Structure 1
C-alpha cells in the first residue's frame, strides 16, 4: 500500500518472494527503506547473501539492491521518499543521514531480542492500521511511527556497539561524520590522509576511532566502498570498464583493473559476466 501527501510518499509491502516481483522494487528504487526480517529467513543485499539468525531490521539507502531469497511471509518493507521524512527532521541522529543510513562500517542489520522485536512489530502493525485510515492526521502519525522505529533502532545500535553512554556521543557523531564523508567523496578521495585532513585529525588517530566499531581499517573501508560501487556499475549499467574507472577518478583503467582484480579475485569483465 502506498500513500501520497502532495509530493510526500510512504508505503509498506510484504517482502516475501511469493508477494514481491521485480517491477515492484523498481517502482520504489529511489525510496529509502526499512526492512523487518524474521529469523531463519535469507536476504540478498547487493552482492552478498545473509542468513538471518534472529529477528532484525535492515536500513536501506536507494542505491542498495536488496532481494528476498527465502521467507515465511512475516517480512515487511517500509519505504518512503526524502520529501516524506528527511527534510522534516533536524536531529542528525535520527535523520536520513544518521548512522543507520550512512554506515560504511557494516551492513546495518539491527538484531532484535524477543522484547525489542515485539515492540517493533507493534509499531509496524500500527503503521499498517494507520495506512487504512483517511484521517487528516494520518501523515503526521505515520511520520511519528517511522521516527520511533529509527530512534529505537539507533539506540539499539549504540548499545550493541558499546556507544550508548552520554560521554560517548561525540564518538558516535564522529563515526557518523566519517561515514558520511566516505559516502560523499569515495569517488574522488581514495586515501586515509584525505579523510583525516577533512576531520582535522591524524591518520593514526582516525584508525583508532574507527577501530571502535570495525575490524577493518579506514583504508579497507574506503577501498570496499569503491569496490562496491564498481560492482554496482558493472552489474547494473552498460558503462565500459574504462568509463567506470574514469567515473571513480582512475585515469588509468589498467590500474583500476588491477585494483579491482586484487581486491575481488576476479577481473571486472569476468564479474560482469556473472550478472
Structure 2
C-alpha cells in the first residue's frame, strides 16, 4: 500500500516538473502573432474553400498580412466587399473582382440520355467514374450522384428531380470547389451576368453524341456562323461561348433559335429547391 502511494506521489511530482519545464519553454519560445492576421481572418467568410490558393482562411490571412506581394482580392467568395475591407486593413489596393458562379454544362438526365450499364455502387461521382468512366454512355456527361453538392461549402447546389445539379445563382460564391470535385469537368465558373451558355460537355462528334443524348451539342457550328459578334467557337466538337463578348456586344441571342438540338440555353437565376 505504501509503495503504491509513493508511486502516485512520484508520478505527480514528475508531472508537475515536466509541466513547469513546458511552461517555461512555451514562454521562452513564444512567437508573437500579429493581431492584424486575426482581424483579417475575421473579415473572411470562413468557407475554407481554398479558392484563394491557400489552405484555408487563416493561411490566406497570414499571407496577405505578412507578404506584401499577396493581393487583398484573392477571396473569391467574399467578393468586392471583403476585398475592400482586407485592402483597408492591410494598406493595399484591391483590384476589382469579376463576380462569377458555377454553371452545369449538362442536361443529360435519364429522360435525355442513355446508360451503358446499371450502376448500384457508392453514390459518389468520383467512385462511379472509376469503373469504365461511369454508367453513362456519354463519357462527358454529369453522373448525377451529387459529389458537387457534398463539396459545396456554401450549400448553393441541389439535385433536381432529374438528378441534375442546380446551382442557386444568388447563393453561389464562385469558389470553384464543385468545379474541382467534378470528375467529368461538367461545371465551370462563368460571369454572373452571362447571357447564354452551352448546356453540354460532350467532345464526341455529332452523330455519336446525338446517339447518347438527345439534347447534346452536335458541334455543327451553326451557332458560331449565326453569331454576329464571333462570341462562339466550336472546339473539340463542342460550341464554346465567350461570355465577355456576349455580354458586351449581344442584345439578340440568335444562337438559341438556330441551335438544332437546343443545347444553347438562356442563363437564368435558379431558385433553391
Q: Give the TM-score of the pair, scaled to structure 2.
A: 0.24
Higher helix proportion? 1
Q: Give the TM-score of the pair, scaled to structure 1.
A: 0.24
Higher strand proportion? 1
